[in-house]
Amino acid sequence: MGNRIGRLILSLILTAGVLLGAYLGFMRYLSEVHSRTLELVVDLNDVKKMAAFEKKPLSPILDEIKNIGIAGVGVFEETLADANAIGELYYAKGSGIQRFKQLSPVLNSFCELGRIRPDRTYIYVPEKRVRKRVYNQLRAALGEKAIKFLNQEVLEIDEAEEELQSLGIGMSESQTSFLAHKGFQIIPRVWNDPRYHLGNMEAKISALSSYELIIFDGDEILGYPDALPMLAEALKKFKIKYGYVEIVKQEGDSALKQLMDRQVVRVHSVPKDELKKIKKEEALDRFVRAARERSVRLVYLRPFLPPQIDAYPVEYNLAYFKELKARLESAGFILGKSGGQSALQVKDWQVLLLAIGVLICGLFLLERFFGFSLGLIYLLLIFGATSIWLLEALGYVALIQKLSAFSTAVIFPTSAVISTFSRPLRGKILPIWDSTLLIINILAESGIGIFLMIGLLADYKYMSGIQTFPAVKAALILPVIIVAGYFLLKSGEGSLYDRVQNLLKTKVSLAIVFLGLFAAGALAVLVARSGNFVLPVPGFEKIFRNWLEMILFVRPRTKEFLVGYPFLFLAAAYYLRGKKSWLWLLTAVGVIAPVSVFNSFSHIHTPIVVSLVRTFNGMVLGLLMGWLAWVIVNKYVGNTPE
């Protein structure tokens, strides 16, 4: 009686956690429903290339782009060469001025007075506002001692011209005024420069104080590696949001996102090098998918240019932009200015309750391996809950969220498979029907953990990408190992120690060794394919994926319906026949299905509805593949495996 009451109390605590997770998930759903505004931005330099290729004026092209619904323009900082090209200033190395005196009468007068030094750089800036901006930028980067006025319009820089070529000197006044007059929001593009550090970062950012959003260019964030805290402080001071480009690698990105907290905007773009390898249709699909499945708030467009396209680039890309707009609107998005972050935030007491729910299920799983008594379970629960409370009190709430969310992704798929295939068989067996019910039961038990995980991560930090789900690869591989180990050990006799000893003494053939190596290789591929930067997707698989997405709206995960569900179905069918010799292998591979379902919901930036549709599609396709696998194996393999 006491044992029953004790377990009932644990079940009630777990139920409270699950209900809380469901509530937080519903609040997240409401937030996602109301966040449908998407901003389109085009790169100004690329638009200039389009116009130059056809020798057309820039202004009417920009007017057409604005009429399409593109609200923003990405504008790179000027360099001295850029400013020189549009006539804002003239600059030259001292040795060049001495050699070609006739090129600049203003500088020549200083040359005749012997005030031009060959190793320094000289800049002639006749317009006051440009001169002020250039001086402030150079002073911030080089220091006041490196700059001297020869007269009101001429600056002497104690730096070789070659060293200044890559230095950004701010945003061109004439260019930004021109774009603002046309109604565009301007997005500055700024790159890193080692000359900016803790002492001058604020001066650099203050020059951008009139802009609402900044996107950094290149492989590194401005200020990386040491000045990122000062960069974040300056951006916040001047109320400038950080637009981070997802998937594209930039050193310092993760640190800056956390420092900026709510002042971040998720951006999706196809880099120039990658754009050269894909076609327009692929780019359109990618942008729509990013908006629908990744909660992107800003799309940064790069046009297609010759020789990649055999067409006039202006007409081609205007049509491309129009088609993208139409697809996004048909998907339910509203084009406009990117909005702010969700206000959702999981409270400390909610994290505590959800984490205790995860802890209870973890103890139940350990009980299956080690046969814990109820008293020991309560003792470990009290110790664990106290530890969680202390960590919260010390301010480690994010750590608890991540560890608990990771634990759910390991514990619940593992526990669901183990408990389902450990129950006694009853009554008459209908292989296809009962196997299907077993799989649905596994998904239902896994769903308990999904509610807990959604609740733990129903926070703006995870929804915006500031924080991410931890150790994705470990969450994929650990359930496979634990399930295989459990059923291997369960098949032996005696105590756990005796079964481990017997397993270690098992003699295996060379064929089994090769099979094990193959399985390890397949597992490595599974883990590598879980990221964006390890293994590329083959061309034929891209075609298959696109076809699935076209048919099903949301593409299910390939490993889920082609690998996980078929093996899980075979495991269920042979388990129902009372054959358990190879159950460890079939369930170990089959657990990939519920693990993949967890993986879908662990992408917190993906709307809940999309993850639900993906899971349903994966289950239906997976069951169909499972039925097919059972029919084939039953026909050609017969009663094996024994």
Query: How many whole angstroms separate alpha carbon 141 and alpha carbon 28?
Result: 44
331 and 448 part of one domain:
no
User: Would you say residue 456 has pLDDT above 60?
Assistant: yes
- The answer to whether residues 313 and 47 touch, using CB atoms and an 8 Å cutoff, is no
pLDDT digits (tens, 9 = 90+) for 73-113: 999 999 999 999 888 998 888 887 777 666 667 776 777 66
User: Would you say residue 40 has pLDDT above 80?
Assistant: yes
Residue scoring higher pLDDT (614 or 499)? 614
Residue scoring higher pLDDT (267 or 506)? 267
- The answer to whether residues 68 and 315 touch, using CB atoms and an 8 Å cutoff, is no
Q: At what angle do helices 280-293 and 539-552 cross, to 10 degrees?
A: 60
Q: How many CB atoms lie within 10 A of CB 116?
A: 23
Q: Which of 32-41, 251-260, 416-425, 516-525 has the lowest mean pLDDT?
A: 516-525
CATH number of the domain that residue 275 is part of:
3.20.20.370
60 and 108 part of one domain:
no
Query: 14: Cβ–Cβ under 8 A, 6 or more apart, which residues?
Result: 357, 360, 361, 448
In sequence order, what are the beta bridge partners of 269? 300
Query: Binning pLDDT at 50, 70 and 90, where does residue 355 land?
Result: very high
Cα R_g (the chain), whole angstroms: 31
Residue range of the domain that includes 450 = 2-31+343-636
Query: How many whole angstroms separate alpha carbon 323 and alpha carbon 315?
Result: 12
User: Would you say residue 64 has pLDDT above 90?
Assistant: yes
Q: How many CB atoms lie within 10 A of CB 18?
A: 19
Query: How many whole angstroms separate alpha carbon 88 and alpha carbon 80?
Result: 9
The CB-side HSE value for 546 (13 A sphere, CA atoms) comes to: 14
Q: What does the DSSP 8-state code read for residue 156?
A: E
Region 142-161 average pLDDT: 90
Determine, yes or no, domain membership for 626: yes
Query: Binning pLDDT at 50, 70 and 90, where does residue 642 land?
Result: very low
Query: Residue 353: in which H helix or E strand, if any?
Result: helix 348-370
Transcribe 466-510 into DSSP letters.
SS--S-HHHHHHHHHHHHHHHHHHHTS-SSHHHHHHHHHT----H
Region 224-237 average pLDDT: 94
Region 538-548 average pLDDT: 65
491 and 571 part of one domain:
yes
Residue 273, Cβ density class (10 Å: 0-12 exposed, 13-18 middle, ≥19 buried): exposed
232 and 151 part of one domain:
no
Instruction: Answer with the one of 145, 164, 183 that is the final residue of a domain.
Output: 164
378 and 470 part of one domain:
yes
Mean pLDDT of the chain: 86
Query: How many whole angstroms separate alpha carbon 510 and alpha carbon 65?
Result: 66
Determine, yes or no, domain membership for 136: yes
Query: How many whole angstroms separate alpha carbon 416 and alpha carbon 591?
Result: 9
Nearest to 592 by CA among 616, 620, 568, 623: 568
Residue scoring higher pLDDT (276 or 97)? 276
Q: How far is CA 296 from CA 40, 300, 605, in A?
A: 11, 11, 8
> What pLDDT, on the 0 to 100 scale, is given for residue 533?
46
Nearest to 90 by CA among 141, 134, 48: 134
> How far does the chain reach from its first CA to its final CA, in angstroms?
40
Q: How far is CA 3 from CA 6, 357, 360, 371, 413, in A?
A: 5, 19, 15, 14, 26
User: Would you say residue 421 has pLDDT above 80?
Assistant: yes
pLDDT digits (tens, 9 = 90+) for 157-193: 998 888 898 999 999 999 999 999 999 999 999 999 9
> What pLDDT, on the 0 to 100 scale, is given for residue 640?
47
For the chain, give the number of residues.
642
User: Would you say residue 339 has pLDDT above 70?
Assistant: no
pLDDT digits (tens, 9 = 90+) for 471-492: 777 888 899 999 988 888 776 5
Nearest to 304 by CA among 285, 289, 284: 284
Instruction: Answer with the one of 137, 164, 191 that is the final residue of a domain.
Output: 164
Determine, yes or no, domain membership for 372: yes
**Residue owning tokens 């003699």:** 507
Query: How many whole angstroms separate alpha carbon 407 and alpha carbon 362?
Result: 8
Q: What is the 3-state secondary structure (H, E, C) of 230-255?
A: HHHHHHHHCCCEEEEECCCCCECHHH
199 and 249 part of one domain:
yes
Query: How many whole angstroms separate alpha carbon 498 and alpha carbon 505?
Result: 11
371 and 504 part of one domain:
yes
Query: How many whole angstroms separate alpha carbon 391 and alpha carbon 398?
Result: 10
325 and 442 part of one domain:
no
Determine, yes or no, domain membership for 549: yes
Residue 115, Cβ density class (10 Å: 0-12 exposed, 13-18 middle, ≥19 buried): middle
69 and 87 part of one domain:
no
- The answer to whether residues 64 and 322 touch, using CB atoms and an 8 Å cutoff, is no
> What domain count does the chain have?
3
Query: How many whole angstroms separate alpha carbon 20 and alpha carbon 351?
Result: 10
> What pLDDT, on the 0 to 100 scale, is given for residue 79?
93
**Residue owning tokens 């090129």:** 103
217 and 250 part of one domain:
yes
> What pLDDT, on the 0 to 100 scale, is given for residue 116?
78
- CA dihedral sign, ordered 493, 495, 501, 503: positive
Query: Residue 136: in which H helix or E strand, if any?
Result: helix 128-142
447 and 353 part of one domain:
yes
Query: 402: Cβ–Cβ under 8 A, 6 or more apart, which residues?
Result: 467, 469, 470
Cα–Cα–Cα angle for 138, 141, 147, nearest 5°? 40
Region 293-310 average pLDDT: 90
Cα–Cα–Cα angle for 606, 607, 609, nearest 5°? 130
Query: Binning pLDDT at 50, 70 and 90, where does residue 424 land?
Result: confident
349 and 418 part of one domain:
yes
Residue scoring higher pLDDT (481 or 533)? 481
The CB-side HSE value for 206 (13 A sphere, CA atoms) comes to: 8
Q: Model pTM greater than 0.75? A: yes
> What pLDDT, on the 0 to 100 scale, is given for residue 513?
55
At 57 the three-state DSSP class reads coil
Q: How far is CA 589 from CA 366, 484, 522, 584, in A?
A: 21, 9, 10, 9
pLDDT digits (tens, 9 = 90+) for 2-29: 688 888 899 999 999 999 999 999 999 9
Region 47-63 average pLDDT: 93
Determine, yes or no, domain membership for 641: no
In sequence order, what are the beta bridge partners of 37? 334
Determine, yes or no, domain membership for 642: no
Please write down the long-range contacts of 382-391, taking CB distance under 8 Å and 24 or more positions apart: 384/356, 384/359, 385/352, 385/356, 385/359, 388/352, 388/355, 388/356, 388/359, 389/352
User: Would you say residue 234 has pLDDT above 60?
Assistant: yes
Query: How many whole angstroms separate alpha carbon 512 and alpha carbon 81?
Result: 66
pLDDT digits (tens, 9 = 90+) for 306-318: 888 888 999 999 9
Instruction: Answer with the one of 147, 164, 181 that is the final residue of a domain.
Output: 164
